Amino acid sequence: MLFGAAAVAAQDPDADATARRLSLSAGFSPDPMSVPLPAGGPLPAPAVAAGCAGRIGAAPQVVLDYAAGGFPLYLTVDSASDTSLVVQDPDGGWHCSDDALGRLPLVEFADPAAGRYAVFVGVSGADAATAEAPLAILRITELRP
């Protein structure tokens, strides 16, 4: 889902990744690419765009530089906690997901643009109230999850 709104000053999608910066080209291997990271943060994700859920950090945990090439692109999160995804695409659009796969989020780009994707992994539901950042694994894949 794409929700149009300007980012609030607290989130900085142009900031350096707090967990990892990746450069991937269409047809990458291994697929899926897995990135362990701490989820959540102090800022409300709904302030970024309507329809976003949970709490996220000020900087993206992952920055993905993607060279597109005829494959869809999927981002999901595995975690014991209730997580959400907030992704800024290369054109500046915001994409949000909370419970697309049960309690797990899924952001899908059917025809992804080449460029920089800023990925924020949030914590939602009752898990958003905890002070400790839960462990999550961001999975980036071109195969339908």
The one-character DSSP state at 128 is G
Helices and strands of the chain, counted as H and E runs: 0, 12
pLDDT above 70 coverage of the chain, percent: 90
Residue 97 pLDDT > 60, yes or no? Answer: yes
Q: Please, what is the average pLDDT of the chain?
A: 89
Query: Closest Cα partner for 48 from 109, 89, 94?
Result: 94
Inter-residue contact 114 to 103 (CB < 8 Å):
no
User: pLDDT at position 6, please?
Assistant: 43
Q: Provide the CATH topology of domain 2-141.
A: Jelly Rolls (2.60.120)
Whole-angstrom distance, CA of residue 127 vs CA of residue 111: 33
Residue 70 pLDDT > 60, yes or no? Answer: yes
User: pLDDT at position 127, please?
Assistant: 65
Per-residue pLDDT band at 95 (split at 50, 70, 90)? very high
**Model confidence, pTM:** 0.89
User: pLDDT at position 64, please?
Assistant: 98
Q: Could you give phi then psi for residue 59, rounded to 5 degrees?
A: -115, 150
Of 4-8, 44-48, 116-120, 133-137, the poorest mean pLDDT is in 4-8
Whole-angstrom distance, CA of residue 41 vs CA of residue 48: 13
Whole-angstrom distance, CA of residue 102 vs CA of residue 75: 15
User: What does the DSSP assignment read for 47-87?
Assistant: GTSTT--SEE-SS-SEEEEEE--S--EEEEEE-SS-EEEEE
Residue 60 pLDDT > 60, yes or no? Answer: yes
User: pLDDT at position 3, please?
Assistant: 42
Q: Could you give phi then psi for residue 90, rounded to 5 degrees?
A: -60, -20
Q: Enumerate the domain spans of the chain.
A: 2-141
